[in-house]
Amino acid sequence: MSIETQATFYARNVCDYDPGTSCDVPVSPALAAGFVEFSGLLQAIYQDWRAFETSTLPSERTKIGIMTNDLENYHNLTDTLNCLYAIAKIGELHTEGYAQVLRVNKAAFKTVFKKSVKVPFERLESHGFYFGFLKNGVETTEYRRCDCFDVHYENGEHLMAAMHWIADRLACLKDGHVEFMLADYDAILTGQSNQNPLQQRILTTLGPRGEMWATLVDALQNQLGLAVDFAFNPYVFPNRTITFKQGKKTIIKCGINVDELSIRLPLTFEAAKSLIENRAALPPSINQNIDWFDCVNCGKCQNKRNLEMVEGVPLCNLPYSNFVTEDSRCLRFDVTNEAEVTVICDIIRQT
């Protein structure tokens, strides 16, 4: 195993700065140049994922499904970004000659970043940063002896000021470190997340599934007028979930991952019955879901009396009300072709 998929997900979700994005304060040319440097730095760190795979733990599966060594390597990566965020947040910007430097009070820094700095500092040094340690204003040799430290960057003259500015903008947000590690300029500049399901980073994440996603979004959002709700999970197995709703009712949930588009579509009894009756013309993935239709022991009836046999398939006739009852009649699979998208759209149009 490896952390390649997680790192690739983060890399594909790093935003590029769009000069057209509105902001309540002017963005100077130097700051805009720093944004470009910052996005480039994040991409370089994520693409360097192999360098974070240093765990010597035995490879054993954890309760959350990731191997122990992969989990440690994943934390090596994310801790490095969280450390960088803490530096940008706590550091005070000053100039030495022509260079911009962040001076970081160690005690304040440790209230934000409480883990070991060993791996983060090593990885940041490999990407153009270097550190100077001070004790009572006098240089010292290492981090553990210092009361503050200076952070320099040698691969761009605008990055330090841009990172400091970004961290300051994100200080009021609960998950500011997440927006920081993705260079989410919509959140940084406007305070609002981008709610466009066809935004570039989503299409980039989906890769070859992007065109199918565009077809699905057009049908659900533009043709059927469904509302869109976004959720982002940044932890261990990072992914996005985009839910399309009619009022408060969830119609379909869509999972966004690296080269992967998954759906969860609960069906009415009538829609499920129609699929069974026409299954000969359906894609294999949907036929497999039909084979899974059955009682889910939700406790709403006795002796499975609400099951009806439809062409040999046991079909529950209860209206679904939660994830348990939904599972008796539900399509859940990874979308891989346009035929599946067509069926999904047809089902929702007829519901």
- Is 131 found in the same domain as 229? no
Amino acid at 118: K
Rounded mean pLDDT, 112-118: 97
Residues in the chain: 351
Rounded to an integer, the average pLDDT of 115-144 is: 96
Q: What is the average pLDDT score of the chain?
A: 94
Please count the structural domains in the chain.
Answer: 2
Closest CA to 256 of 242, 271, 245: 242
- The answer on 158 and 30 residing in a single domain is yes
| Centroid of chain to Cα 71 | 17
Structural domain includes residue 104: yes
**Looking up tokens 């966004």, which residue turns up?**
256
| pLDDT the model gives residue 99 | 86
Same domain membership, residue 121 and residue 93? yes
- What is the average per-residue pLDDT within 168-195? 92
Residues 309, 208: one domain? yes
Q: How far apart are CA 263 and CA 217, in angstroms?
A: 12
pLDDT of residue 251: 94
- Averaged pLDDT, 180-188: 96
- What is the structure's pLDDT at 314? 94
Listed residues 190, 216, 242: the one ending a domain: 190
In a shared domain, residues 336 and 241? yes
Over range 193-220, report the average pLDDT.
96
Task: Give me the DSSP letters along 178-197.
Answer: HHHHTT-HHHHHHSS----T
Q: What's the mean pLDDT in 244-272?
A: 95
The residue-averaged pLDDT of 98-107 equals: 94
Domain assignment present for residue 319? The answer is: yes
| 155 and 212 in a common domain | no
Q: What are phi and psi of 235, to 5 degrees?
A: -110, 135
Please tell me whether residues 247 and 103 are part of one structural domain.
no
In a domain, 219, yes or no: yes
What digits encode the pLDDT tens for the residues 283-304?
A: 999 999 999 999 988 878 888 8
How sure is the predictor about 246, in pLDDT bands with cuts at 50, 70 and 90?
A: very high
pLDDT at 97: 81
Is 195 contained in some domain?
A: no
Final residue of a structural domain among 170, 190, 210 = 190
Q: Is the pLDDT of residue 322 over 70?
A: no
Judge whether 329 lies within some domain: yes
- Give the distance between the most distant pair of CA atoms in the chain: 83
**Tokens linked to 256:** 């966004």
pLDDT of the residue at 323: 66
Same domain, 183 and 64: yes
pLDDT in tens, 38-91: 999 999 999 999 999 999 999 999 999 999 999 999 999 999 999 999 999 999
Residue 236 pLDDT > 80: yes
Residues 224 and 160 in one domain: no
Q: How confident is the model at residue 232 (pLDDT cuts 50, 70, 90)?
A: very high
Residue 256 in domain? yes
With respect to residue 176, please indicate whether it lies within any of the assigned structural domains.
yes
pLDDT value of position 234: 93
- pLDDT at residue 62, rounded to an integer: 95
Asked, for residue 238, whether it belongs to a domain, the answer is yes
Domain match, 288 and 170 both: no
Residue 263, strand partner residues = 254, 333
Q: Are residues 13 and 131 in the same domain?
A: yes
pLDDT at 320 over 80: no
**If pLDDT is split at 50, 70 and 90, which confidence band does 166 have?**
very high
Task: State the Cα–Cα distance between residues 198 and 78, nearest whole angstrom.
Answer: 26
If asked whether residues 26 and 148 sit together in one domain, one would say yes
The b/e string for 10-41 (b: 16+ C-beta within 10 A; e otherwise) is bbbbbbebeeeeeeeeebeeebebbbbbbbbb
Q: What is the mean pLDDT of residues 5-31?
A: 96
Range of the domain at 15: 4-190
Instruction: Give the residue-averaged pLDDT of 320-328.
Output: 75
Domain boundary (190, 225, 252) is at 190
Residue 326 pLDDT level (bands cut at 50, 70, 90): confident
